[in-house]
Structure 1
Amino acid sequence: MPVRYAGKRVQADTVDEALALLNAESDARILAGGYSLIPALKDGLETPEQLVDIAGINSLSGITHDGGETRLGALTTHAEIADSETVGEHARALALATDSVGDRQAKHRGTIAGNLVFADRKYDAPAAFLALGGRIVARSLDGTRAIGADEWFRESGEIALAADELVTEVVLPDTDRSGYIRTSEYSGYAVVSVAVALDIVDGVVGSARVAANGAKAYPIRLPAVEERLVGEPANDLPAAEAADAALSDVDPASLVVDAAAAGRYRRQLVRSYCRRALKQTTASP
């Protein structure tokens, strides 16, 4: 049975005001699009004393590109990212990931920061963010810091954001080629998703980042796959051989087991969708 939220909700009109409100209450949570938090409130999984609503802070929305980086305001929605020519050109994996969000309400209300803060294994953006090697810009009353994708996701399933910090931006470095693909369960959420990001030097792969979500409680890199790709022709990637290397990156005994898929099946899904993501990336412009 749904639980009625008993705490208070306060509106913040600026980032400074949001930080002040966040720090004024020992048990406070940020409310943005609300697509992840509101169901958790209804189910009684989250019971903060105060919600700090930042949905009206216009400075936290928008997409810009400068100096080899794409900058996404924390409140930028999945739909805005999926439709952005800038993201499609410079960070295609994230455009594909956000376009994969099947629920219309989630796509148009869910925000990139909220998706990465909740970092659910069924979400689409985390794998793309990790593969693209992005970073989170977070502010607190003490100042601003940047948190790299490899630091953001922790093995405990938690994230590196402190309780008194507010995400203001998601920053993605330009990538020559990238892709994203996933398999869905009946609910429309991803069971396993794989993202690939390649930098090309003189027609061959100079560096590679490959990430999977849904295998564990947190997104993981696939280093054996990455190593197999470096030095290969960018237009003729050994997709099948590289994907086979994913089997050494995932231990079936440590994988998620739930109603959607058992651990060993998830391991095979990682390999299969790694192969498909690599073929997609080869075919990308």
Structure 2
Amino acid sequence: MSAVSEAVRVAPPGNPVSRSFRDSMVVAKRNLIRMSRIPEMIIYGLIQPIMFVVLFTYVFGGSMQIGGSASPVDYTNFLMAGIFAQTVTFATASSGAGIADDMHKGLIDRFRSLPMARGAVLTGRTLADLVQTAVTLVVLAVVALLVGWRVGSNGDTNAGKVLAAFGLLLLLGYAFTWIGALIGMSVRTPEAATSSGLIWLFPVTFISNAFVDPGHMTPWLRHIAEWNPFSATAQACRVFFANPGRSTSHAWPMEHPVWASLIYSILIIAVFRTLAVRKYRSAST
């Protein structure tokens, strides 16, 4: 390799942390600009969660019992925490597909030739996906209000708790985008990234307390649902929203859902960010 091309790969001097943050923000800005120029990416991302809200509320709501109540209103209030959690985790598929697409087009190779922090490319992408997820949550919350969802329907809450619930949702969504980043770095095409991302997401979201009370499941399935990271966040949101769905389970994540949600999300970020960045570095050598 020539001396010129070797010099291009040399990182500029400075604090590694600040340099990594700056590079990540540049990549995040690039991805946000790209998303704004392709609005159908956001529109199509909104259609699926809105369909879930409408279908579960009006098709299944009248036949579901929550805490002994068969009221469709109670089920709607119970349901929304699960729909919110499902929406943020489904960002995994788009994150993986986006990174796989950049890999397929050779854009990642161009980034590798630049003097930038190795983890900045993936961090910037996941941060951009986090912004898109936040926009999706805002729109979905408006739709939920239109179909009858109300905070404080089963007790007292306040604006701080509601914001804390959405913060936990965004943290979970950010954690799952790192799983998508690892998948995107491990497959060859965007189609493969989307398929492999959705295959495991459906069991994770449905074997949980998102749509039904796990107490009605068979014992072995109930234990899986109670220790599911997805269930912890959904339950924590119900606590903050003061919505129906108080758990009678003695599993630690259900008794302490807020702490469980935080611990699960931080662990997922720590593990999968490490694996994704390591995969990026090994592929760039």
- Flag the structure with larger Rg: 2
TM-score of the two chains, using structure 1 as the length reference: 0.26
Structure with greater proportional strand content: 1
Structure with greater proportional helix content: 2
TM-score of the two chains, using structure 2 as the length reference: 0.26
